[in-house]
Structure 1
Amino acid sequence: MTSHRPTTSVAATEDRRTSTAVVELVARVDEVDPIALEPLYDAIDPDTLDSICDTDSGFRSLSFRYAGWLVTVDSRGDGVEIALSEPASLDGSVTDAPDAESSL
């Protein structure tokens, strides 16, 4: 993992589940087939991710580690935005991020 990768984001839509969007985004950024990635459920329960990211749930933000990335899911209007960044400390060094953190 290199520290020069940019933060990348994608919006999940009604016809695309948040869990699917996370896997597709990581696969695209890492330039691998989504099947080659570790299962998302090793990081977070996909059904729970999809249900708490529902716009009617009062969801605001959630962060978790997956496949070497810090994945942040934020509420944005009618959907969510998914951003990838490398876990880093304030001095820029890569650090262990918490497995899951949420703000409801």
Structure 2
Amino acid sequence: MKSFEQTAVSVSADDKLSMAVIDLVARATDTDPLELDPLYDAIDPDLLDSLPDSDGFSSLEFSYHGYTISVAAVDDEITVALEGRRISADDSSGDLIGGEPST
């Protein structure tokens, strides 16, 4: 598995949160985004994309592809982060510490 250095991204108003989640998980797992499970199995992508325009939105967490995805409004931007544990196909797991899975 390739080294993964970034576990969070800031999303601009022009970007879709759903695409940021897919891209972040794909890079973390060194997987083609088209090979990931559909995001709609975890959360409604349209709902996710509407969050930046929602009054009073502060944060949301959900599970996707073995990660806890954290979406938060920080100042005037939205941050998407991977948190927690990653479960691999062979059921081994590793914590995301310092941006890299450890076993």
TM range (shorter): 0.7 to 0.9
Amino acid at match of 2:38: P
Preserved CA contact (<8 Å) 2:21 2:80: yes
4+ runs deviating over 2 angstroms? none
Choose the corresponding residue for 1:61, options 40, 59, 62.
Answer: 59
Choose the corresponding residue for 1:75, options 44, 66, 73.
Answer: 73
Preserved CA contact (<8 Å) 2:13 2:52: no
TM-score after normalising by structure 1: 0.72
Preserved CA contact (<8 Å) 1:63 1:71: yes
Shift of residue 86 of structure 1? Answer: 2.1
Amino acid at match of 1:62: L
TM-score after normalising by structure 2: 0.72
The alignment-based identity, stated in percent, is 43
**Within 2, Cα distance between the matches of 1:13 and 1:75?**
11
Amino acid at match of 1:42: D
Higher strand content, 1 or 2: 2
Preserved CA contact (<8 Å) 1:7 1:85: no
Tell me how many residue pairs correspond in the alignment: 84
**Within 2, Cα distance between the matches of 1:48 and 1:85?**
21
* Residue 37 of structure 2 is aligned to residue 38 of structure 1: yes
Q: Which runs of 5+ in 2 are unaligned?
A: 86-92, 94-103
Shift of residue 10 of structure 1? Answer: 0.5
Alpha-carbon RMSD: 2.1
- Name the residue aligned to 2:82: 84
Q: Which runs of 5+ in 1 are unaligned?
A: 88-93, 95-104
- Name the residue aligned to 1:25: 24
State the SS of the aligned residue for 1:27.
Answer: helix
Shift of residue 76 of structure 1? Answer: 1.4
